[in-house]
Amino acid sequence: MNNGNVIGDFCTQTADILSFVGWVVTLIKIAIPILIIIFGILDFGKAVTGGDDKTIKASMKTLGIRVIAGLVIFFIPSIVLWVFGLVNSYNSMTADFGVCQTCILSPWNCKVKSTTNY
């Protein structure tokens, strides 16, 4: 039965969705570094076989931009949840926020079952 605190139980009620989002985020965190390495190897391979110094410098710059973008993408979920954690420390929903944090950052530990009765 619903206890009237719908907003306070948001993370618990949406744990299945948050777990799915967590798995997607985890796959992206794994795929981005692999893609950066693959594209970096391909770019440097082309630059080295071309033998032009300008091409090598350009591929080095491109790799640097890709690494920075990869790091930003890798850390965005953690940074967003950290900011929400700072805001949440002033609120009474700390336990429910822990469910959100666990389900998004480590979905394999998300063991909450939503019990919503309408």
Q: How confident is the model at residue 2 (pLDDT cuts 50, 70, 90)?
A: very low
Percent of the chain with pLDDT over 90: 3
Per-residue pLDDT, averaged over 67-90, amounts to 78
Answer whether 0.85 is exceeded by the pTM.
Answer: no
- Taking 50 as the threshold, does the pLDDT of residue 1 lie above it? no
The secondary structure element, H or E, covering residue 65 is: helix 53-88
pLDDT over 50 (residue 71): yes
The pLDDT of 44-64, averaged and rounded, is 85
Average pLDDT (14-43) is: 88
Res. 118: pLDDT tops 70: no
Per-residue pLDDT at 24: 92
* Measured distance CA(97)–CA(8) in Å, rounded: 9
If you average pLDDT over residues 51-78, what whole number do you get? Answer: 86
- In the prediction, which pLDDT does 23 show? 92
Burial 5-17 (b: 16+ CB within 10 A, else e): eeeebbbbbbbee
Q: What is the mean pLDDT of the chain?
A: 79
